[in-house]
Amino acid sequence: MDAGSKKRVCSSVYIQFPEVRGANPSVSSLPGGKYQLIFHGKAKAVDGKTIPRTVRVTADEDGRILKISTSR
């Protein structure tokens, strides 16, 4: 995945999940010319506790997002 494609994916994820803004994702290649990017961040709950957030993104070589999943 080239830098431009990675930047497009990151900007889309940062808009949808602001708690991972600024996180540098780990990138791994998948079969079929796809890539998985994993973002880690922390969100604040209403009661003040921090909640870890992981966002997994599957994207193609051009930076088009195919799937997004998130977990706490």
The structural domain count of the chain equals 1
What range defines the domain where residue 30 resides?
Answer: 3-71
Instruction: Annotate 1-21 with b (16+ C-beta within 10 A) or e (fewer).
Output: beeebbeebbebbbeebebbe
Residue-wise pLDDT tens digits, 13-61: 999 999 999 899 999 999 999 999 999 999 888 998 999 999 999 999 9
Domain CATH for 24? 3.10.450
pTM above 0.95, yes or no: no
Strands across the sheet containing 50-60: 26-30, 34-44, 50-60, 65-71
pLDDT at 40: 95
The whole-number pLDDT of residue 44 equals 85
